[in-house]
Amino acid sequence: MEVIYMLIGFSLLIALIFLGLFFWAVKSGQFDDQYTPSMRVLFDSKKSSSEKSNNNQKHRDE
Amino acid sequence: MTTATATISPDICYHCGEDCLSESVAFDDKAFCCSGCKSVYQILDESGLCSYYDLEANPGINLKNTRHRARFDYLEDEEVIDRISDFRNQNKLSLTLYVPNIHCTSCVWLLENLQKLDSGVLQSGVNFLKKELSLLIDTEKTTLRDVVEQLVTIGYEPEIRLEKLDSKTEKSHRNRSLWLKMGVAGFAFGNIMLFSFPDYLDTTGTGLGDNFHIFFGALNIILALPVLVYSSSNYLKSAFAALSQGGVNLDVPISIGIVALFFRSVYEIITMTGTGYMDSFTGLIFFLLIGKLVQQKTFHRLSFDRDYRSYLPIAVNVIDKNGDEKSVSLDKLMPGKEIHLRNQELVPCDATLLSEKAYMDYSFITGESEPVSVTMGERIFAGGRLIGTSALLKTKEKVTNSYLTKLWNHEAFTNNDKELKLTTFADKISPYFTVAVLGIAFFTGLYWLQTAGMEPALSVFTAVLIIACPCALALSTPFTLGSTLNIFSLNGLFVKNHLLIENLSKATSIVFDKTGTLTNADAAEVHFHGNDLKEAQKSWVRSACRNSIHPLSRKITNYLSTVITSNSVKKGSKSHGNLPSMTTGLHQGDRVVEYQPNSISTLVTPRDDRPVISSFDEIPGKGIFAVIAGNHVVLGSRQFLSEQSELDITEIPITEFSGSTIHLIINGNYKGFFGIRSGMRDGISDLLQAIKEKFSTYLLSGDNEGQKDEFTNCFGANGSLLFNQKPEEKLEFITSLQKNNEHVVMVGDGLNDAGALRKSDFGIALSDDVSSFSPACDAILEGNSLHKLKEFMGFSKASMKIIIASFVLSLLYNTIGLGFAITGHLSPLVAAILMPLSSISVMIFTSLTTRYVARKRGLAIWR
């Protein structure tokens, strides 16, 4: 049963890492604005501008 | 690239979605309603930013309506930059701008890709709800002014107000510490729960060795310590502050519970007499902090405490000795300067008029519904809005000394104690609650001391303190009022603070402002009384009025335009599916264009259907005389008409119309008159009829008695109508009502209501655009939701009942818990089940009942 000591030690360590990540997330402002990021999901990153305008053209033709 | 050509087409603008009715500009196979929209498309196309148009259909901002481009010279002033920026060093500048035009996904995308338009922008981020754009600029590559001007070109003009100069944007990091505290509490709660579990399962007391007990106990104490010191610090501090001032708030019994829980658990663990209540302790704090977070949910994008500084712009155009215009920030504006104002701009300080004539709209300051005409040399008060042609003014006072500012600084306007007096029901009963809990704890402890001795007596004493900790009680108010606030905001009422809802629920009388509140200046009702006019005659009158800058002429022009265009629209078949919503926007758009001084010249240029004006004469303030296609058209007052035509004054009837009248003569024949009055908002008379039974209703207007008859029926017998009220008189009226023990709700919109809004128990500022300026108030109501006022008040009453019901529920849990505690059976397991159970059931109960009640009252729910 003594293995429990070690296991609990590890589980606490992992939990502490997650707490640390949570602290980092809050401090870097990720909880300040909870609405705008949901809009950013919709943005595609496109490669180049020329391709883009072609794509746009296609979309509009359709 | 194709060249731009003007064509007539029924298309909607590719950029902004406006109807291209009059003329459209074709470019790149797309139609644009104006060259402004086209040039934005061009800019975006060149920079490869056309995804803008893929995210939302026609996302752009119509540039036709932009009144005139503000000048940003002042953004080169080092001092101004220093004062509006958040951070600055040699080559980096970071600042936050308020951009009211942010409205859709495309806006967010475009503004966050600003570096493609201006390589000097290092970072740009949008906060959609606050409508804020945070920028990091490399000042070696670009200047702040360039970036702001670029924003203006693509239609996102930032609003930089005077208040920004004086206060750095307060970064909202307050919530962050709450999140962190909650994180710590949640972390400890979860882990301690896990470590306590073996003990709960171990009913015989044989399975776990002593070493495990010590190990888990030690871990529990280590984990719970930061929760006590960090997470619960706010409660302990608040309780300590209350006690040191001799008062008792709800945090006192909570803190007693917290302290009892922690130290009893530590005692049990150290003496190895038990496992302690660390899981209940951390869970309690965790739930309490969730309640706090719900409570702190505020409406970021709305400002409730605005004063004159956020009303006025940051700078005005001053004309220097050489005759050049230069923009100067308002706090540097000295008396005796010449300033140049354009249509729709605000007068920053008291001044005299240098131009021959100007129209000032004082509706926001005094409540007068009609613009006032000012002639050369007359005094103009700060806060007025210039309408029509641009004007030159000479400043008389510094901004801080003008009438508007004095009004704000008036002692009575600055009473701020309303919020300090706010207490929740929970705070009111907490002294009794605390005394009761301490009493029960002492008596049971005393009883156990006599029957069983010191040890069990102490354990029962602490058990009572623990279980009576009013956690559920503390949650019921924030959760009920939090969801009430949420439902209100879904329905267009944005309340500043959840505690204010109690004030709304107690209301006994309601006071309304007239101009802009019950009536809507934009929805002016124009009717022609007299012989029916032929289509041709209508277009003559319209052409005549179009040339006049008098506000009433503008209204007639708009009225006739809608009559004439609506006919022609009916004739032409429209094939767009999305038109119904468009057409209303179209008229609004038209109106703004009409106000543009420079548009007069373009409109006078004859188009096919427009009659030619051969002569035009306007006697300011009296009437107009025009010859159109050989026909004589005379419009104006009775006096003017009889002077200008052969008609005797007796031939022109005296009207009994309540409102402004303009008589019309065409070719020497009297045709009738236009009656103009500001229209009431939709559903107002129904609302007034419905509430006058239950509440005393009053009308308090700064305007004249022109519309008295219309409103007399709408207000109850125990109310009254008062006209020509100065801002101070409005304030006094509210005070006198309050002296008669009335709880007053004030509904107003302008600066003239500001004092009354402040003084009343619940001041509602009405605004057609909630993000635009509104005076200091307790709540902001969307103009088209005013008719729901009765439902809002009923719902606020219901919320108060829900709070009391949830109090009963949580007291029930406390009584059950006390039963365990008094008899000495409060095991850690019972506490660990009972405490979270009571908190969660109170949360569920309050949010379900508020939604149910809201739905029953016909308010929109769900988010």
H-helix or E-strand containing B121? strand B121-127
At residue A14, the pLDDT reads 94
Label residue B369 by pLDDT band (50, 70, 90): low
At residue B293, the pLDDT reads 81
Residues of B in contact with A49 (CB under 8 A): 47-48
Show which residues on chain B lie within 8 Å of chain A, measured between beta carbons. 30, 45, 47-48, 50-51, 53-55, 105, 108-109, 112, 126-130, 172-173, 175-176, 179-180, 183-184, 187, 190-191, 194-195, 209, 212, 215, 219
Assess contact for B249 and B236: CB atoms under 8 A.
no
In order, the DSSP letters of A30-44 are TTT-SSHHHHHTTPP
Those residues with Cβ within 8 angstroms of residue A7's Cβ, 6 or more apart along the chain or in another chain:
none
Instruction: Please give, rounded to a whole number of angstroms, the shortest distance from the CA of A22 to a CA of chain B.
Output: 7
Domain extent, residue A8, equals 3-61
How high is the ipTM of this complex?
0.77
Alpha-helix residue ranges (DSSP H) falling in B122-244: 144-153, 162-166, 174-201, 210-226, 233-244
The pLDDT tens digits of the residues spanning B301-315 come to: 566 656 666 677 777
pLDDT for residue B414 is more than 60: no
Q: How many CA atoms lie within 13 A of B597 on its CB side?
A: 14
Instruction: Please give, rounded to a whole number of angstroms, the shortest distance from the CA of A38 to a CA of chain B.
Output: 10
Closest residue in B to A36 (Cα–Cα): B128
The CATH architecture assigned to B308-409 reads Distorted Sandwich (2.70)
Most confident stretch, B35-49, B127-141, B391-405: B127-141
The pLDDT tens digits of the residues spanning B268-300 come to: 888 877 778 888 899 999 998 988 887 766 555
C-beta atoms of A53 and B48 within 8 A: yes
Better pLDDT: B463 or B677: B463
pLDDT for residue B602 is more than 70: no
Mutate to test the interface with B, among A49, A59, A62 (most CBs of B within 10 A): A49
Assess contact for B691 and B790: CB atoms under 8 A.
yes
Residues of A in contact with B180 (CB under 8 A): 23, 26
Q: Give the pLDDT mean for B149-174.
A: 66
Residues of A in contact with B51 (CB under 8 A): 43-44, 46, 52, 56
The pLDDT tens digits of the residues spanning B246-270 come to: 878 888 888 998 998 899 999 988 8
C-beta atoms of A56 and B108 within 8 A: no
CA–CA distance, A49 with A40 (Å, rounded to integer): 20
Mutate to test the interface with B, among A56, A58, A62 (most CBs of B within 10 A): A56
C-beta atoms of B53 and A56 within 8 A: yes
Q: Measured between CB atoms, which of A1, A23, A59 is closest to B180?
A: A23
CA–CA distance, B74 with B90 (Å, rounded to integer): 19
C-beta atoms of B175 and A50 within 8 A: no
Structural domains counted in chain A: 1
Q: Measured between CB atoms, which of A8, A39, A44 is closest to B108?
A: A39
Assess contact for B110 and B154: CB atoms under 8 A.
yes
C-beta atoms of B48 and A50 within 8 A: yes
User: Closest by alpha carbon to B773, among B158, B128, B310?
Assistant: B310
The pLDDT tens digits of the residues spanning B520-564 come to: 766 667 778 777 777 788 888 887 877 776 667 777 877 777 776
Residue boundaries of the structural domains of chain B: 5-55, 75-160, 176-299+421-480+797-856, 308-409
Pick the CATH number of B75-160 from 3.30.460.80, 3.20.20.70, 3.30.70.100, 3.30.1370.10: 3.30.70.100
Q: Measured between CB atoms, which of A1, A35, A52 is closest to B51?
A: A52
Label residue B422 by pLDDT band (50, 70, 90): low
Closest residue in A to B220 (Cα–Cα): A12
Instruction: Please give, rounded to a whole number of angstroms, the shortest distance from the CA of A11 to a CA of chain B.
Output: 9
